[in-house]
């Protein structure tokens, strides 16, 4: 990271500088009231020990003013620091969420979804602790400690110097504990991310868990992650809470030394009763801020560990979008000597070359793992090819802006992502002002109209998480309706019917044929019967193009395509 985590984190705090300054003013008022209360006690004792008979009513009433000042200061300080804290959480969550949309697909491939969600929901609250709660304690207790120290110096500077004799030892304990706390806090972020990830998988895969009777297996996975999180938190608490009593003992030793010299009139120190009580009351009040200030080390280290994780994601390189071309896309596509390998180094595609003319349908077939879906992901630049050129209308795909390129491509895959929203908003996804006529036409062309009209709320029906309230065929047709609504010149169908039963496949296939009309279509298919009428078929094997032609031409060659057809009893 270019800037230190703490410095960068504090920059979020100062976005709310006015709330922060009001909070500081409140805490100063709070600290001043506590010191004023000690001075009030000293004056009351002084009056009792004096021979004066006229008691000032202002002295009695001043206690009410002190209490009001303390209460108002406490409220203002804490409330406005909470404004800062919740503002930081909101800002970090917003930045993390926005960053998710800008990260390349490879980042999601290499990071667990649970960890990504955990950063937005849990890790940001840990950061808030360092940026607001710790700062709140530092200011409130810091001002109180400094104020009490100055007050003690005024009362008796010799005793005050004796009192601070243990300060170096306290500083050493805080430093040693801090190093261990930071290490443990980092482990807690990872452990909590594992808990979130396993829980998320269990929710998404509840059907598979039940069908495989894998409840015990998942419970044991969760138990390990949950236990690890518990153990790391206990270690953190043990380290943090061990430092506090040691510091309190050291403070008590300092007070006992002070008492010895004050009561024994050693070193030429003698105190009257009211000064002695005031001194020890103020010195005793110092124990709380010292304890609180020693505890903020744990909050700060947890927050810094969380901040490091968050800033690491925020600093990730975003998708490259250096293109400037927004020219209308017609749909001519050409692959020229394309190689592709993942960041791990494994070669997926080698020397891929083929072309698709505008409004043609080209099918890509091959065994599992031959690179079919990778080709589909290269066209909208979810991945960037390693070498070679991909041209659309004779223009390299990298020359188009990502927004324009992707707005010109519709994708319907095997498991379309649907959202827990209305049918209308799922079909017109991304369109803030829905064209109702276009919406209904899209539903009609995709074969959705009948089942939508049978729903109680029609187009306003909520379909549940990922369309769980719809059948597989209905979900697929809804995804096709979305493609109709988007009306892009290029459409990619990635195993769009492979997960459906025969009846649903026939209905969906009919809708797919309609959506491909007048568009350049790339069809990735496992069931070869669905692509017999394609203008051209590209056959892949181990990331290479081994055959290309029409169904009849390839079948008559009795090569790789013929073998695939034979496996499916297709002639």
Q: What is the DSSP letter of 129?
A: I
Any bridge partners for residue 410, and if so which? 491
Q: Which residue has the higher pLDDT, 20 or 468?
A: 20
Q: Highest mean pLDDT: which of 47-56, 326-335, 555-564?
A: 326-335
Q: What is the pLDDT of residues 470-491, one digit of tens each?
A: 887 888 888 888 888 888 899 9
Residue 244 has pLDDT above 80, yes or no: no
Residues 416-445, mean pLDDT to the nearest whole number: 86
CB atoms < 10 A from the CB of 111, how many?
Answer: 16
Mean of per-residue pLDDT scores for the chain: 81
pLDDT confidence of 2, banded at 50, 70, 90? very low
Residues 442-448, mean pLDDT to the nearest whole number: 84
Distance of alpha carbon 399 from alpha carbon 16, whole angstroms: 41
Residue 1 has pLDDT above 50, yes or no: no
Q: What is the pLDDT of residues 144-198, one digit of tens each?
A: 888 888 888 888 777 777 767 656 666 666 666 666 666 666 666 666 667 777 7
Lowest average pLDDT, out of 96-100, 248-252, 486-490, goes to: 248-252
Three-state SS letters, 195-213: HHHHHHHHHHCHHHHHHCC
Q: What is the pLDDT of residues 267-301, one digit of tens each?
A: 556 667 787 788 878 877 777 787 777 667 767 77
Residue-level length of the chain: 571
pLDDT value of position 208: 60
Half-sphere exposure at residue 192, Cβ-oriented, CA atoms within 13 angstroms: 23
Distance of alpha carbon 487 from alpha carbon 365, whole angstroms: 25
Which element (helix H / strand E) includes 124? helix 124-128
Lowest average pLDDT, out of 15-29, 137-151, 246-260, 270-284, goes to: 246-260
Q: Which residue has the higher pLDDT, 302 or 121?
A: 121
Q: What is the DSSP letter of 422?
A: B
* Integer angstrom CA distances of residue 270 from 158, 252, 331, 433: 11, 21, 96, 83
Q: Which residue has the higher pLDDT, 238 or 552?
A: 552
What whole-number percentage of the chain has pLDDT above 90?
13
Residue 231 has pLDDT above 60, yes or no: yes
Q: Highest mean pLDDT: which of 29-38, 200-209, 225-234?
A: 29-38
Q: What is the pTM of this model?
A: 0.75
pLDDT value of position 180: 65
Residue 22 has pLDDT above 90, yes or no: yes
Region at 12 (left for phi over 0; alpha for psi -120 to 50; beta for the rest): alpha
Q: What is the pLDDT of residues 326-383, one digit of tens each?
A: 999 999 999 999 999 887 667 889 999 999 999 999 999 988 888 888 998 999 998 8
Residue 263 has pLDDT above 70, yes or no: no
pLDDT value of position 42: 79
Lowest average pLDDT, out of 124-133, 436-445, 465-474, goes to: 124-133
Residues 6+ apart with CB under 8 A from 81: 19, 20, 23, 132, 133, 135, 136
Lowest average pLDDT, out of 78-92, 201-215, 298-312, goes to: 201-215
Q: Highest mean pLDDT: which of 56-70, 188-202, 312-326, 504-518?
A: 312-326
């Amino acid at each position: 990271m270019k800037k230190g985590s703490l410095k960068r984190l504090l920059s979020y705090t100062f976005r709310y500088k006015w709330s922060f300054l009001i909070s500081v003013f409140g805490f100063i008022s709070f600290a001043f009231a506590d010191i004023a209360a000690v001075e009030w006690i000293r004056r009351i004792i002084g009056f009792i020990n004096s021979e004066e008979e006229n008691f000032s009513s202002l002295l009695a009433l001043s206690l009410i003013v002190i209490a009001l000042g303390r209460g108002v200061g406490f409220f203002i300080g804490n409330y406005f620091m909470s404004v800062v804290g919740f503002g930081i959480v909101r800002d970090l969550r917003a930045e993390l969420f926005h960053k998710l949309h800008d990260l390349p697909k490879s980042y999601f491939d290499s990071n667990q979804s649970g960890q990504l969600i955990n950063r937005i929901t849990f890790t940001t609250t840990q950061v808030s602790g360092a940026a607001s709660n710790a700062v709140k304690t530092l200011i409130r207790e810091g001002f109180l400690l400094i104020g009490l120290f100055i007050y003690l110096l005024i009362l008796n500077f010799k005793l005050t110097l004796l009192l601070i004799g243990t300060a170096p030892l306290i500083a050493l304990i805080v430093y040693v504990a801090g190093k261990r706390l930071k290490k443990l806090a980092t482990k807690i972020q990872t452990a909590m991310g594992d808990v979130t990830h396993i829980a998320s998988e269990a929710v998404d895969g509840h059907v598979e868990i039940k069908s495989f009777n894998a409840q015990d297996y998942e419970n044991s996975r969760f138990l390990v992650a949950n236990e690890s999180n518990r153990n790391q938190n206990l270690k953190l608490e043990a380290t943090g809470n061990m430092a506090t009593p040691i510091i309190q003992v050291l403070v008590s030793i300092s007070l006992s030394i002070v008492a010895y010299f004050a009561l024994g009139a050693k070193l030429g120190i003698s105190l009257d009763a009211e000064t002695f009580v005031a001194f020890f009351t103020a010195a005793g009040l110092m124990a709380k801020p010292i304890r609180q200030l020693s505890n903020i080390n744990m909050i700060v280290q947890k927050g810094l560990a969380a901040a490091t994780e968050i800033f690491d994601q925020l600093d990730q390189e975003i998708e490259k979008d250096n293109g400037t071309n927004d020219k209308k896309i017609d749909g001519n596509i050409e692959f020229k000597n394309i190689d592709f390998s993942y960041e791990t180094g494994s070669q997926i595609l080698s020397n891929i070359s083929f072309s698709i003319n505008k409004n043609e349908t080209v099918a890509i077939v091959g065994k599992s793992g031959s690179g079919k879906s990778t080709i589909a992901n290269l066209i909208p630049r979810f991945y960037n090819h390693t070498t070679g050129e991909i041209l659309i209308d004779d223009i390299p795909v990298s020359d188009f802006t990502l927004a324009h390129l992707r707005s010109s491509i519709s994708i319907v895959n095997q498991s379309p992502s649907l959202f827990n929203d209305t049918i209308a908003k799922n079909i017109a996804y991304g369109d803030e002002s829905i064209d109702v006529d276009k919406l209904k036409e899209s539903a009609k062309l995709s074969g959705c109209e009948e089942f939508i009209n049978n729903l109680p709320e029609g187009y306003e029906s909520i379909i549940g998480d990922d369309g769980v309230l719809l059948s597989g065929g209905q979900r697929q047709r809804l995804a096709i309706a979305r493609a109709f609504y988007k009306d892009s010149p290029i459409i990619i169908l990635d195993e769009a019917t492979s997960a459906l039963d025969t009846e649903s496949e026939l209905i969906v296939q009919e809708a797919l044929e309609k959506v491909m009309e007048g568009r350049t279509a790339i069809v990735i298919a496992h069931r070869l019967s669905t692509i017999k009428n394609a203008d051209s078929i590209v056959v892949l094997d181990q990331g290479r193009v081994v055959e290309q032609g029409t169904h009849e031409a390839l079948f008559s060659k009795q090569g790789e395509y013929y073998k695939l057809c034979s496996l499916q009893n297709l002639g």
